Chains A and B, each alone.
Chain A
Amino acid sequence: MDWTWFHKFGSPPHVYRLAGTLTPWFAWPAGILIIAALYGGLVLAPPDYQQGDGFRIIYVHAPSAWLSTMVYAVMASAAAVGLIWRMKVAHAVAASCAGVGASFTAASLVTGMLWGEPMWGTWWVWDPRLVAQLVLLFLFLGYIGLRSAIDDLGRADRASAVLAIVGVVNLPIIRYSVEWWNSIHQTPSVMKMDRPSMPMDMLAPLLMMLLGFTLFFVAVLLVRLRAEVLRRERGAAWVKEVVS
């Protein structure tokens, strides 16, 4: 048992209960927003003048890609807090992020490939965004691998925290190098989402989806955090009470 947690930022049971209380406040709006955005994106929005209905995958692809980076940033920030202020609950947050982040990254890769097939006629093109997402997936997998390879929880927390911080420093450099590499080799890219001309009936569902995915991430993070706290505190008296 570690009591520094108590001294500093509230007890594990407190975190457990707080996360439980907060979960519905994120889960319900996330569900409503995502359903509304799906209706708006798949039914109400007109087909794209170039891509037809194929563009509609953007409503899953773009939020996944956006969240994959955001989750890495959240994970690295939580890891840094855990490392610097020795806050165990922050390490638990970082640990809970990794799987979600890897899933979002994988989702963005798969949807990117699905999008690519009708556009380029092939499942994989060395598009800089896809390559960057692939490297990000490896970073997540490395983080998960390091965590699972170290038996001692405290060591695993701190070593993986160092890795997450190293990764977050490198991420912009990797992105830049991949863009630079692409500018030389001139691969085709249709995944430009910075078109200023996107009409409002296409854009509004996308923004709703971004917000919906973000809230969904927070809800999932809270649920996973509860599980993580229980796992770490197994054997403690309060866990036995909660479980029974």
Chain B
Amino acid sequence: MIGAALAVLARDLRLALRRPGQVLQPLAFFAVVTVLFPLGYTPELDKLRQIAPGVLWVAALLASLLSLESLFREDAQDGTLEQILLAGQPLAALALAKTAAHWLLTGLPLTLMAPMLGIALGVPASAMPGILSSLALGTVTLSLVGAVGAALTLGVRRGGVLLGLLTLPLTVPTLVFGARATELAIAGEGPSGALYLLAALAVLAVTLAPLAVAAALRIGSE
């Protein structure tokens, strides 16, 4: 089972390396959305600093969501998803492996990019550890919750819009705790309380979401 899960993970990473453009798209999206705020609001760093937590988190949320649409779609189109379903391996473990690949290719790079964008929003360097750790934890939950939505909307007409409608309300807690942790980090206060809550969400998502993804994939491939 672990071998099969690792094989799925390694395969998805290898595929991403062969088509790096797909990996870069959500990152570029993240940067563009963030840069729009100073243009649409104000270039004053003092004011931008105040909205920086919300901007960074909403942009990360949307970038993550954007990349989720294709999480299972390509496998479904070329028939490899059926082979994964029929492999005689625990499907939840394989779903978790695919989601882990998504996080490594989207959540982690988004996290690593955030300090750069934070600087553009007037975030002090002292806030970076808090921002990095909150995004690292929060994007895990985003990938998992989004994977449930992606599996449910597999093969559905206009699935992208529906994916947003299904997934975004479920990400409210991540957004609330993540933005708060970022806010505290910027203010120079300890964000550990909010980080604990983010970690708890991530643990819950890792435990439960793969089961929902597995059920949804079986239903979707009927």
Contact = CB atoms under 8 A, between A and B. Distances in A.
Do A and B contact each other directly (Cβ–Cβ < 8 Å)? yes
A167 interface: yes
Contact of B201 (A173, A178, A184): A173
Given A159-B152, A159-B219, A166-B212, A145 B162 contact: yes
A152 B169 CA distance: 26
Given A163-B152, A165-B212, A174 B173 contact: yes
A146 B168 contact: no
A137 to B, nearest CB: 9
Interface size grouping (class) on chain B: 20 to 34
Nearest to B214: A162
Interface in B137-174: 148, 152-153, 156-159, 162, 165-166, 168-170, 172-173
Interface of A: 83, 135, 138-139, 141-142, 145-146, 149-150, 152, 154-155, 158-159, 162-163, 165-167, 169-170, 173-174, 176-178, 180-181, 184
Given A149-B162, A155-B219, A166 B176 contact: no
B212 A162 contact: yes
Given A142-B165, A145-B165, 14 more contacts: A83-B215, A138-B168, A139-B169, A142-B169, A145-B162, A146-B156, A149-B158, A149-B159, A155-B222, A162-B152, A163-B152, A166-B148, A169-B208, A181-B176
Contacts of A139: 169-170
A167 B222 CA distance: 23
Contacts of A174: 169-170, 172-173
Classify the interface of chain A: helix, strand, loop or mixed. helix
B62 interface: no
Contacts of A158: 219
Given A138-B169, A146-B153, A162 B216 contact: yes
B162 to A, nearest CB: 5
